Amino acid sequence: MPEGLLIQGDNLAALRKLADSSVDLIYLDPPFRSEHIYRTTLSAGETSGAKIFDDRWRWNDESESDLRRLKLTSDQLAAMVGGFEAILGKSGRLAYILFMIERLVELKRLLKSTGSIALHCDQAASAPLKIAMDLLFGEENHLNTIVWCYGLGGSSPRRFPRKHDDIHWYAKEVDRYYFLPPVEPARSQRMKGKSKKIPDFWYIPSINNMAHERTGYPTQKPIALLERIVVSASPPCGSVLDPFSGSGTTLLAAARNNRSWIGIDIASEAVETSIRRLEIEGFDRNLSFQRWGLEI
């Protein structure tokens, strides 16, 4: 039975307590800088009053101290954040990118040399996050930007409907990382009867209102997406970390596929939903729970 550790708290404080080079795969699905407040969805179109997380970003005192701290960490980080500051100014966009950079620095430290990291985002921050990851992990370690194509969501009369997210995937060391790609039947005449690796665009439907797996937690990702990532990019019996674990999709995907896991989320609803999902499938027996830096 795989072991699990669920932590409720700010992930920056929690990540700082984890050991260097200890994790095979990191998947993160952070706030996207959507400028929304996310609430629990009860049923089609109905929302409760309960706020889960706030994805609106403004420049404030906290951003000012993030900037100061990052500039003092190393010359490389000072140059990187100085560059973003020059381009973006002291804005909500800069506040967001500093929040992410500070966490990505810790995440890199936690990855094994054979490990990899997959950062899920959408067009609101995909470009600056890709640049930050190129600088932190090295352009040569960029493996794919996987395009997750989904069906649901709104449309607009003035542009094409936005129906995909980006998942920037990087190795810690490009010649050492674990990879076991899913395959599909080849369609070309030349490869007839053989199988080939699936490409880097994945059509996996997002969770509709009637879906069995739906928890009502906003921004929940499909388990099929996470199982594909976990199985492709972490070895059997390996370890998976999700520092923005939300409803626990990654944790469940890891447990189902015999990987140990660590999930971190600041929201109590996230932790409650994750435990409930893990319990239903009997994966709560080897689960430990900690609360860090929060009032109990």
Ligand X SMILES: C[S@@+](CC[C@H](N)C(=O)[O-])C[C@H]1O[C@@H](n2cnc3c(N)ncnc32)[C@H](O)[C@@H]1O
**Least distance CB 83 / ligand X (angstroms):** 24
Residues 283/2, Cβ–Cβ less than 8 Å = yes
Q: Given its phi and psi angles, is residue 245 left (phi above 0), alpha (psi -120 to 50 degrees) or beta?
A: alpha
Count Cβ atoms within 10 A of the Cβ of residue 22 and give its class: 0-12 exposed, 13-18 middle, 19 or more buried.
middle
Give the residue nearest to ligand X (CB): 246
Cβ distance to ligand X smaller for residue 141 or 278: 278
Q: What does each C-alpha distance from 39 to 165, 218, 223 come to in angstroms?
A: 21, 6, 21
Q: Which amino acid is at 174?
A: V
Cβ distance to ligand X smaller for residue 128 or 218: 218
Query: Is residue 41 close enough to count as binding ligand X by CB under 6 A?
Result: no
Cβ distance to ligand X smaller for residue 126 or 249: 249
Cβ distance to ligand X smaller for residue 10 or 106: 10
Segment lying near ligand X (by CB under 6 A), choices 25-33, 56-64, 66-74, 124-132: 25-33
φ and ψ of 220, to 5 deg? -60, 135
Query: Is residue 133 close enough to count as binding ligand X by CB under 6 A?
Result: no
C-alpha span between 233 and 25 (Å, rounded): 7
DSSP letter, residue 159: B
**Least distance CB 94 / ligand X (angstroms):** 17
Residue with tokens 């944790």: 251
Query: Is residue 146 close enough to count as binding ligand X by CB under 6 A?
Result: no
Give, as ranges, the residues between 275 and 294 that touch ligand X (CB under 6 A): none
Segment lying near ligand X (by CB under 6 A), choices 61-69, 73-81, 147-155, 217-225: 217-225
- Give the pairing type, strands 46-54 and 111-121: unpaired
Residues making contact with ligand X (CB under 6 A): 10-11, 29-31, 52-53, 217, 219-221, 244, 246-247, 249, 264-267, 270
